[in-house]
Amino acid sequence: MKILEQTYEINAPIEKVWEALVNPDQITAWGAGPAKMTDKEGEMFSLWGGDVFGKNVQVEKRQKLVQDWYEGNWPKPSKVTFTLVGREDKTTIHLLHENVPDDEAKDLEKGWNDYYLGKIKKYLEE
DSSP state of 115: I
By the 8 A CB rule, do 39 and 122 touch?
no
pLDDT tens-digit readout, 72-112 = 778 899 999 999 999 999 999 999 999 999 999 999 999 99
Domain count, the chain: 1
As a whole number of Å, the end-to-end CA separation of the chain is: 36
Q: What is the pTM (predicted TM-score) of this model?
A: 0.96
pLDDT tens-digit readout, 2-54 = 999 999 999 999 999 999 999 999 999 999 999 999 999 999 999 999 999 99
Give the CATH number, domain containing residue 21: 3.30.530.20
Structural domain of residue 33, as residue ranges?
A: 2-125
Q: What is the sign, positive or negative, of the torsion defined by CA atoms of 65, 100, 90, 16?
A: negative
